Structure 1
Amino acid sequence: MKRKILLLALAVTGVFSLYENPAVAQPKQAAAKAAPGEKFPADPDVKIGKLANGLTYYIRRNTEPRNRAVLYMALKAGSLMETDAQQGLAHFTEHMAFNGTKDFPKNELINYLQKAGVKFGADLNAYTGFDQTVYQLPIPTDSAALFKNGFKILANWAGHISMENTDIDEERGIIVEEERQRGKNAQSRMQKEALPVILYGSRYAERIPIGKLDIIQNFKHEEIKNFYKDWYRPNLQAVIAVGDFDVAQVETLIKENFSTLKNPANAKPHQNYDLPDNKEPIVKNITDKEFPYNVALLTIRHRSKPTNTTADLKSGMIITMVNSMLGARIQELKQKGTAPFVEGQASYGPWQGGMIEGLNAMTVVAVTKDASEISKGLAGVMAEAERMAQFGFNQSELEVVKKNMEAGNEKAYKEKDKIASATFVQAYLKNFMSGSPIISPDVRYNLAKKYLAEITLDDVNKAAKKMMAEENVTVLVQAPEKDKDKLPTSAQLLENIRNAGKGLTAYVDNTVKKPLLEKKPTAGKVVKTEKIEGIGVTKLTLSNGVQVYLKPTDFKNDQIMFSSFREGGTSLIDDKDYMATNYAGNIPGDGIGEFENTQLRKILAGTTASASSYIADLYEGFSGGASPKDIEMALQLVYSYATNPRKDPVAFKKNMEDFKVYLQNADDAPDNVYGDTITSVLTSNSLRDRKPTLAELDQINLDRSLDFYKSRFADASGQTFVFVGNFDVAQITPLLETYLGGLPSTNSGSKYVDRGIRPLTGNVTRIVKKGIEDKAQVKLFFYGNYDFAPATNLQLSALSDILEFKVLERLREKESGVYSPNVGIGYEKLPYANYSLTISFSCASANVDKLVNATLDEIEKIKKEGATAVDVEKFKAESKRAMEVSLRENNFWLNYLTGKLKTNEDPLSILKQNERLEKVTPDSVKEAANKYLSNANYFKAVLVPEK
């Protein structure tokens, strides 16, 4: 739970997020040519069909990941279809799908899939939106029976959910707890005030998917059964299947399982709903006692046409260009320290993330220091959007973004045979729901290449101007309640916004003509080469003491990833100097040498290279990646961050001011106070982990931080690099000798210092009283020292996963007291071997003691009786299936090898994973529970409302 002085980065993506909005992806297809305005050619690699009952299906064979398929059952119906008495029942129906069907009574469905290695929540899941309900089932294909049953499961969801009265009643409390867990906070309360404003006059405002709690708790059983009969019908449904299978077999399975489904005799009409225009601007100030920020969000909403033709793809590319260039200008303004806002964003795209088809918007967001600066801050971001509309962009800006898009286009095309099945599924889902075209990689690649050459500066500037056409203006302000009197009036806000475009001058681009490195470093040499047989790794030792581990793979065609570490980090700073030097970890975020970040982005234009340095608790090092063709540039970045860090007093001043903005209201949010309390117990209130005070921020010194940064990278001896991806060892070695072997080295040696940060021991309880909603959060920690070993760690993981099965069954299914409890295990070897098992959930305040006792009761059962054979079977199956996928991922190998090397463990350990897994038994879990859940060190942290 380490906390450092970081930039204040607020991810403001919209007023609310009601359901996941999957991104459109691109499937594979043979090369084809298309002219502007033409419809996209059909994709021969996806089989699209329709049964006699109207059900649509999409089938595609794809081998990434191997022996896996992703199956979806999608429905064109959601909360918009509910009657007044059914509000919330579309979502409730989705829950009931997992509570029993014709062929899988009660919880048999979840148990069956878990025993096959399908994890509930992570794999098996569903979601409900305004106009859609989607069920997702990633499933192995190397078991014929399991794969065949996957389609039976989809068909059961589509037309055979049991809807037993007792099951309905038991689920009511779970949905109430879902609303409590996801809502009952400042953001939720503000959302409830905002929705009637932004959705004014539409059915959307009256049909929020979670529904109304009084209806959920009291509706008659027939209401939900009627909803299911009315709307779960084949002519509104689609089956999507993508994976490593035979297409003809899958089509047969779909026909066998879904052809018998029938539409109701007197089907209710399926309607589409719209959002009416607002002629006059709508302004709304919303405050909350627990909201810690001052945020203004403006949207200019426009009508848009469906994306159906190749010309629409060109228009979409122009929008991407505009967003990129406008975003770069805003970032540059922030870097210069002259921005009248803490954080600013402006972009054009689907309104509210595509919530309602046919609506686009220019969205402008400003986060300010306090409420009195909201008008000025929002006008500051608006000024950049207006400057774009009035004067357009420069050719030099367009060239940078074109280079980047060309690089991305090339990279995507090279990976066209490695596209994950889930990506295709999302494209087909979007096609079914809204008619979005299915575009093959070849068509997309060729058209993008053509349009990148054709699009002119005039095309871009005309589009940018249209984006600012004033229509359907809405302004929402969110702020702490205590600052309510400082907020601008609607008239003041609108006046500042309308004046934002006055007196502007054209943007002057700060072009960069210098290379990142003036000359290459003096190369070192490989002095030793070793092979680690069994996992395909080569170890190089360079003449300056740097060690490099190389694992070539074919998992991706155009990806190389790397990371490094060296012992030391901030552990080498004495406590008395810690605060003064605590900006050292932010140094790489300010740029390199004479190049600030905006200039650095221009230098890197057209490449896929990325890299940076870091300073953590016990280590410092580098991380990054690139396409094979750009790996040299990534290595140049590594060399530059090590040898030429940037001192930027302007960026430093702004970052400190931004963090003060965060600190001044941070304790208004209950979650922050709760988190700080937990950290203080788990670190014995170490100054290295706790949040600094405003006074302590003034102790941070840029020069001292920079000096410490330089000292940590002045000696590369001891740096250990790991590279994973598509490269040839012989070809990459000269680059490694030049840029890694050329790093400065004094062979001074470096070891981290154990600063003795430990959690409080014994039984510890902390009750935090903060907040105004009836919502409690509970975290139970069991922790201590232990003998770190792969076999022990696996037993701990088994204990954690199996305990989660039991806690879920008890607290959610039996008690109906929680929505999604979580059990997690953490263990580390350095600076001392320790483990921590955490159980967490949210619930009603009155139920805390009951649910904590129920949780402890489940622990005692495992201690006395051990795990059930079924639960051990589930754990083994899920572990094996997860490992099968992980072994084909570059990111897994990068993290695995780095972790083993840090702790000086045998990297061949992974070859014995299945052997260790077989030693997990009901008795071994019992032994682990008695040993590691002994209550010797037990910490209960509870957050409850103040009243």
Structure 2
Amino acid sequence: MNFKQTAFLGASALLLTTSSVIAQVKKKTTTPANKATNTARSSVKPGNPEVLPVDPNVLTGKLPNGLTYYIKPNNQPKGRAQLMLVTKAGSVLETDAQRGMAMLVQHMAFEGTRDFSKQDLTGFLRKTGDRFGADTSAFTSYDETTYQLSVPTDTAKTFADGFNILANWAARITFDPTALAAQKNLLAAQAAEGGKNPQSKLQQAALPLLLNNSRYGARSPIGTEATLKNIDLAAIKGFYNDWYRPDMQAVVAVGDFDPKKVLEMIKFSFASLRNPVPEKPLPQYASPATAGTSVKFVTEKGFPYTFVQIVSKHPSLIVKTPGDMLQNMRISLFNQLLNNRITDLTKIPSPPIRYGQSGYAEFIGKQDAFSTLALAKSAADLETGFKAVAAELERAKKFGFTITEVERAKQNVLQQVSASYSAKDNSPSASYASEYEHAFIVKQGIPGIDYEYDYYVNNIGKVSVADLNALAGKLISSQNRVILVEADDSDKDKLPNEQTLLKWEADAGNSLTAYVDDSAIPFMATLPTPGKVNDIKVDSTLSVINLKLSNGARVILKPTTFEPNQVLISAYALGGTSLAPDADFTSANIAAQIIGSSGVATFNQTQVNKMIGDKGFSLTPYISDISQGVTGFAQADNFGPAMQLLYLYFTNPRKDPAVWQNYIEQAKAALTRNANTPGVVYQDTVQAVLGGYNPRVMPATTEKLNAASLDKAFDFYKARFADASNFTFTITGDFTVKDIIPFVATYIASLPSGNTHETFKNLGIHPPAGQITKTVTKGVSDKSTVQLVFDGAYDYNDANNLTMDGLEETLNMRLVDSLKDGNGIYSPSVRASYVKIPEGRYKVTIAFLADAGNTDKAIAYTLGEINKLKQSGPTAKETQVFVEREARNLQAQYKQNAFWQAALTSAAQNQEDPDKLLSRMQGLEKIDAAALKDAANKYLGNNLIKLILLPEKK
């Protein structure tokens, strides 16, 4: 199981500059199953005990021209396959004059090839279910460019065309000059935009130092505006011919197929490809180590945070042998242990930092990195936050870890690898394909989950506390280290100099004591007296069991075999913040967040986290505008402790003044920090306008926060969860009804009830009618942000809902074509939503970026496309694409716990017949172009709100 992944450092997403660095390395998502199957990967000779075996379920090898292939049969989803073309040609191969070339080639692949025109490619992607093109069906990083397709396998020609398209991308891109000029301008604009926001400017300043001034530090995949504009046809063809060649490429195919037949298809499509003569030698670049610690302070106007990052770089661990796997296991345990300690700093009274994260992961330039990130409360509080984090690192290095910490981490790791092993037959093809793509690039082993599971079970006991203490001493290093501080320009005078910062670190190590691990005890020493199940009704159509309990609560049970050991849990009752007086709204609105961060009974949140950390479950209370409840998941073998926590959230929530104070302080700091942040100001305006300027939708203010109180929040929370008779519980997953009913009786039927029949109040908060334009002028970006919002009253029913979904899909297809056609519209998206309660309403939001000087033109073009749809309706092909795609999605959703959990809960909340969930496929047969045209005229009408963010005038 590989927890040492590139994705780890990117988890802080919008907060931290380095996250965007990491995002350029891998623009994809690692699924939970892939966490276990990503462990060890290498093409090795079978039978050699010194190296890991190759998964026997994977057919791998090379064609005579050097092209590598990975083929694995997998029927999730059934009737489909995930295909990839992986090329070891990324931005690090570019010369100074070629910066941005690798990504430009990627974009040109979707503009046409020898055998497939742009229209052919667009049509294929639509037909197979891919929404977009170059930005979602491919990615370029420092060391690779990868193309990916999800194709049906039950249609022979379409399946074969998938391989033919990959082969055309591999060697037959045509590089139409007109298309090249358009794509150069598009990417140049994106590169220019990327260097204008504060986060990107700070990244550009920090990246060379983080990468030791190596070639990687000067080869951001997006390139530069100047080099992209100057790339000519001969240059891009030269780059393509040099590096897109079989001996540097791999084809990955995972899906519902016969692997031997797929191998023949790969040979048919790729065997004729030839390497250039002579072959250009492939240079090897790395980020060399540097002695000691480098400190850098970078500031930028408008950067809304003060944070510090401590990065110690190490040679990359390539897992090829069982010994490498053992070391990787140690690293996964180390990551859990240290990250838990750092995140605990955010949960103590008067926390020294707002956010913290720590761990060892893949980095860039053939190196790994141990990185600790901390978001300070403010620039003035940097010393306190930095010393707290530095102290925890030194504590781990000096005193090591406790046996109880280590044992919890081991149990957690074993549960995760066991879950992945149990789910191996249900893991999606995309996760396996991602594993083999990465294996080809970094040359790691692919032993498979069977081997990995056995290895972990048989060897995790060999990992000692001493091993992990030694690892802490090695990884928490002051050599080849960078300490990076980033802040707003206005806080520059509050930052220390290098000598002061290093002295802070030295002082933090003084007077340290060993870490004390709170002992974990059961949530409940005495179990509640069980209630009774008064009524059981079986819905044989859906295999759903409906229970009515003695306290009036209702329970919906959906046993499945989709995900072994997974159980999803939710509860809801109507009411929510709509029942709070306006004067108490702020307190009520944050009540669940506060209580959910405060623990339960006598346990604070840190203790709760430790108590559930190795049991594989999570529950979170919530209060929305019209409902309240709990949502989460559990492993089937730890369902009991999960239900105890649920019971305590209802009956014994915890009031923690320190959590309240920390929340209020952070909220006030955010108001100050974001007061002039363009995106925040814009979104606050959007929320206010769409809520009709109702006081409940207006942004928080210092005055509102000062008026809120913990007592009011706590009392409101208790009142919302006081009467179980108002609640409906939905439980979906791997269980039998016989086994789960005792838990239901003990922990749900025993909840107090009062038969209050409480429900929500309709406060009438929705967008105002008519034509409205609201423009916010903020920032210096040369792009404008636009949202066009249509809304109105809505008759909520299955037919209308399906038609609305079709309208959303059609508009998405139309606007994506606009992006490809160079109409000054960037990143378009369409989202349609509809609700039945508190009243029937719909909303269609069309969002995009545009060149600031052409905003009106872009809006006019978009409205023109809408008018075309209203006048002529969608084409038969557009309608067919929606129907086929929706049918495929439904087939997949019917085999997912998450779908049933949400759908059954929604049906109960909206008082609908749940059996209708199976009739949506029949409803698709009634969708035609005329129905979508009518929907466009009905829903894209007179109620239009234009919300625009423009840069300030210079």
Out of 94, 117, 128, the position equivalent to 2:129 is 117
Superposed counterparts of 1:70-109, under 5 Å: 70-109=82-121
CA distance in 1: counterparts of 2:337 and 2:48, whole angstroms? 24
Aligned to 1:747: 755
- Listed one character per residue, the Cα deviations across residues 224-267 of structure 1 (whole Å, up to 9, x for unaligned) are 11111111100000000011100110000000000000100111
Q: Is the 8 A contact 2:111 2:179 kept in 1?
A: yes
Aligned to 1:355: 364
Which residue of 572, 579, 601 maps to 1:593? 601
CA contact (8 A) 2:74 2:254 kept: yes
1:796 maps to what in 2?
804
Q: Distance in 1 between matches of 2:119 and 2:502?
A: 55
Match for 1:806: what amino acid? R
Match of 2:865 among 831, 837, 858: 858
> How far did residue 372 of structure 1 move?
2.6
From 799, 813, 828, the counterpart of 2:820: 813
Alignment CA distance shift 1:414-1:518 (3 Å): same
Name the residue aligned to 2:703. 695
The one-letter code of the counterpart of 1:66 is K
- 2: CA distance, partners of 1:11 / 1:715: 39
Runs of 4+ with >6 A deviation: 34-37
Post-superposition Cα deviations, 1:595-645, rounded to whole Å, max 9, x if no partner, equal 112212332353223223221111111112222211122111111111110
Match of 2:170 in 1: 158
What letter corresponds to residue 607 of structure 1 in structure 2?
A: K
Q: Secondary structure at the match of 1:821?
A: strand
* 1:541 is the counterpart of 2:548: yes
Matched-pair identity in %: 38
1:176–1:919 Cα change, 3 Å: farther
Superposed displacement of residue 116, structure 1:
3.7
Identify the structure with bigger relative contact order (alpha carbons < 8 Å, sequence gap 6+). Answer: 1
Provide the residue aligned with 1:398 in structure 2.
406
- Residues 927 and 802 (structure 1), Cα distance of their counterparts in 2 relative to 1, 3 Å cut: same
SS in 2 for 1:48: strand
1:532-681 superposed matches below 5 A = 532-586=539-593, 587-681=595-689
Pairing partner for 2:294 from 282, 291, 297: 282
Q: Check the 8 A contact 1:36/1:311 in 2, yes or no.
A: no
Aligned residue in 2 for 1:500: 508
Contact 1:774 1:945 in 2 (8 A): no
Question: Which residue of the other structure, out of 856, 863, 869, is the alignment partner of 2:876?
Answer: 869
Q: Is the 8 A contact 1:25 1:423 kept in 2?
A: no
Call closer, same or farther: CA 1:469–1:189 in 2, change over 3 Å: closer
Which aligned pairs between 1:713-728 and structure 2 lie closer than 5 A? 713-728=721-736
Q: Which amino acid aligns with 2:183?
A: E
TM superposition shift of 1:454: 1.5
In the aligned structure 2, how far is the partner of 1:148 from the partner of 1:583?
A: 54
3-state secondary structure, aligned to 1:292: coil
Q: Which amino acid aligns with 1:310?
A: P
Structure 1, gaps ≥5 residues long? 1-7
- Residues 211 and 364 of structure 2 are in contact (CA less than 8 Å); yes or no, is this contact kept in structure 1? no
Mean Cα displacement is larger for which, 599-608 or 75-84? 599-608
**1:283/1:668 CA distance change after superposition, 3 Å:** farther
Aligned equivalent of 1:780: 788
- Aligned AA for 1:469? S
Indicate conservation of the 8 Å contact 1:590/1:596, yes or no.
yes
AA at the equivalent of 1:380 = A
The answer to whether the 8 Å contact 1:339/1:380 transfers is no
Tell me by how many angstroms 1:761 deviates.
Answer: 2.2
Structure 2 counterpart of 1:368: 376
Please tell me whether the aligned partners of residues 776 and 945 of structure 1 are also in contact (alpha carbons under 8 angstroms).
no
More moved, 815-824 vs 723-732: 815-824
- Report if aligned partners of 2:823, 2:858 keep a CA contact under 8 Å in 1: no
State how 1:47-58 maps to structure 2 within 5 Å.
47-58=59-70
2:571 aligned counterpart, secondary structure: strand
Separation in structure 2 between the aligned mates of residue 902 and residue 702 of structure 1, nearest angstrom: 30
Contact 2:312-2:479 at 8 Å conserved across structures: yes
Code of the residue aligned with 2:665 in structure 1: it is: E
2:43 counterpart residue number = none
SS at match of 1:579: helix
User: Separation in 1 of the partners of 2:787 and 2:598?
Assistant: 37
**In 2, distance between residues paired with 1:936 and 1:376?**
52
CA distance in 2, matches of 1:69, 1:589: 42
Alignment match of 2:150 (pick from 138, 152, 155): 138
- Contact 1:345-1:381 within 8 A present in 2 as well: no
More deviation in 883-892 or 49-58? 883-892
One-letter code of the match for 1:849? Answer: D
Q: Distance in 1 between matches of 2:803 and 2:186?
A: 31
Q: Which amino acid aligns with 1:640?
A: L
10-19 or 209-218: bigger deviation: 10-19
CA distance in structure 1 between the partners assigned to 2:77 and 2:128 by the alignment: 17
The aligned counterpart of 2:357 is: 345
Provide the secondary structure at the position in 1 that maps to 2:118: coil
Superposed counterparts of 1:323-338, under 5 Å: 323-338=335-350
Partner secondary structure for residue 693 of structure 2: coil
Deviates more, 1:596-605 or 1:868-877: 596-605
> How far apart, CA to CA, are the structure 1 residues paired with 2:193 and 2:767?
28
Q: Contact 2:129–2:150 at 8 Å: present in 1 too?
A: no
Counterpart-to-counterpart distance in 1, 2:507 and 2:697: 45
The amino acid that maps onto 1:427 is E
Per-residue deviation at 1:435? Answer: 0.9
Report the 3-state secondary structure (helix = DSSP H, G, I; strand = E; otherwise coil) of the residue aligned with 2:485.
strand
Alignment check: 8 A CA contact 1:559 1:726 kept: yes
Code of the aligned partner of 1:243:
G
- Give the conservation status (yes or no) of the 8 Å contact 1:683–1:759: yes
Question: Does 593-602 or 744-753 show the bigger shift?
Answer: 593-602
**Deviation at 1:10?**
7.1
SS at match of 2:827: coil
TM-score between both structures, scaled by the size of structure 1: 0.95
Secondary structure of residue in 2 paired with 1:722 = strand
Is 1:196 the equivalent of 2:243? no
8 Å CA contact 2:125–2:133 kept in 1: the answer is no
SS state at 2:625 partner: coil
Which SS does the other structure have where 2:110 is aligned?
A: coil
Q: How does 1:250-289 map to 2 (within 5 A)?
A: 250-289=262-301
Q: SS state of the match for residue 826, structure 2?
A: coil
Counterpart code for 1:150: G
Give the match for residue 853 of structure 2: 846
Quote the offset at 1:218 in angstroms: 3.0
Corresponding letter in the other structure for 1:240? V
Whole-Å separation in 1 of the counterparts to 2:38 and 2:427: 8
How many angstroms apart in 2 are the aligned matches of 1:119 and 1:580?
42
| Counterpart mapping for 1:455-534 below 5 A | 455-512=463-520, 514-534=521-541
Q: 2:453 aligns with which of 440, 445, 449?
A: 445
Q: For residue 762 of structure 1, what is the amino acid of its counterpart? A: G
Report the Cα distance in structure 2 between the residues aligned to 1:299 and 1:249, rounded to whole angstroms.
48
Specify the SS of the correspondent of 2:751: coil
Contact 1:678/1:941, CA 8 A, preserved across alignment: no
| SS of equivalent to 1:499 | helix
Asked if the contact 1:26–1:423 (Cα under 8 Å) also holds between the matched residues in 2, the reply is no
Name the CA distance, whole Å, in 2 between partners of 1:336 and 1:292: 24
One-letter code aligned to 2:199:
Q
TM-score of the two chains, using structure 2 as the length reference: 0.94
1:14 is matched with 18
Contact 1:177 1:843 in 2 (8 A): no
Question: In 2, Cα distance between the equivalents of 1:551 and 1:74?
Answer: 41
Deviation of 1:864 (Å): 1.3
